[in-house]
Amino acid sequence: MTTAENVVRKHWLKPCSIVALIATVLAAAIGWLTVGSVGAWAAPAGVALAALGFAGSAWAVLAVEKIDLRLTLLMALITYSVKLLIVLIALWAVQTTDPHALLPFACGIVGGAVAWLATQAVWAYRAKIPYIELPQDS
């Protein structure tokens, strides 16, 4: 694997993680202002859950890619399924523990996902990703 491939593979994790950290702090402030102390912990917990899910998926796919490139789709599907299960369990746990925290927690999950995906999309748009051009058959 070349250095350029390494750059493309992992360097988007850093800006996404930074934005997720900022989103967590903002979620705590917004949660506090809108719902009170319940929102101050529930909203950032949702953002953190979303960010950890995306980062965990990325690391799992990168790890299995070292074994065999053909396994990456399978690993992506497995991690997606596991993430959905974890989110459902977390939503259920928050609902049963403190029903007032469910809405800020869910909003935090959505906000964290939007922040992560938007950052990843901007990074991909700006990245200088090496590629090759195949010769055109005339």
Burial class (CB in 10 A: 0-12, 13-18, 19+), 93: exposed
Q: What is the pLDDT of residues 49-87, one digit of tens each?
A: 999 999 999 999 999 999 998 999 999 999 999 999 999
- Determine the angle formed by the axes of helices 37-67 and 72-97, rounding to 10 degrees: 160
The predicted structure's pLDDT at residue 133: 67
Within 10 Å of residue 99's Cβ, how many Cβ atoms?
A: 10
The predicted structure's pLDDT at residue 11: 81
pTM for the structure as a whole: 0.84
User: Can you say whether the dihedral through the CA atoms of 73, 115, 51, 67 is positive or negative?
Assistant: positive
The predicted structure's pLDDT at residue 12: 80
Low-confidence ranges of the chain (pLDDT < 70): 1-10, 130, 132-134, 138
In the chain, which ranges are continuous DSSP H helix?
3-10, 13-34, 37-67, 72-97, 102-126
DSSP label at residue 81: H
The vertex-15 CA angle with 9 and 18, nearest 5°, equals: 135
